[in-house]
Amino acid sequence: LSPYAGILEEGKDFSLEALRVHFEELLDKYEFLVVEGAGGVAVPVKGNYDYAKLARDWGLKTILVARAGLGTINHSFLSWFYMKAMDVEPIAIVMNGFEGRDVSERTNPFIVEELTGVRVIKVPRVEGLLLPAEKRKLLAELVGF
């Protein structure tokens, strides 16, 4: 559910400025923060203000996350294209749940990277475990941590 849908459903609003102030307070307190969007870059946070605009306005480094299978080329390219239009440049594209069992999973990472020029990181499906250490290290390096 998008934050905006929550506003409409519950009849309760929130302040984007207060959210930004809270974010900045957390930045002062912690060395590293992850800001996760819900549903995609074009999902409205409030009205016509979406996650891409929030990432741009807050100066966030972004990682586009997509599933590994069929439909990912279109989803990844359209999301990347929208991000570019909003002046947001993802530093990586993560393909979650990668198993490489079918032709779409085997070819999608290469095609998406070729179309976007953005490095694609394949994250395997691992039930109940954290991201492998080498993938955590790679992501930390990408965001400058």
Give 35-76 pLDDT, tens digit per residue: 988 889 999 999 999 999 999 999 999 999 999 889 999 999
Same domain, yes or no: 80 and 102: yes
Same domain, yes or no: 50 and 84: no
Same domain, yes or no: 103 and 135: yes
With tokens 């930390």, the residue in question is: 140
Q: Count how many domains the chain has.
A: 2
Give 134-144 pLDDT, tens digit per residue: 877 887 777 66
Q: Which residue range(s) make up the domain with 118?
A: 61-145
CA-CA distance, 109 to 106, in Å (whole number)? 7
Position 145 pLDDT exceeds 60: no
Same domain, yes or no: 138 and 91: yes
CA-CA distance, 139 to 145, in Å (whole number)? 9
Could you tell me the CATH number of the domain that includes residue 131?
A: 3.40.50
Q: What pTM does this model have?
A: 0.83
Give 102-131 pLDDT, tens digit per residue: 999 999 999 999 999 999 999 887 776 667
Same domain, yes or no: 48 and 67: no
DSSP reduced 3-state for 131:
coil
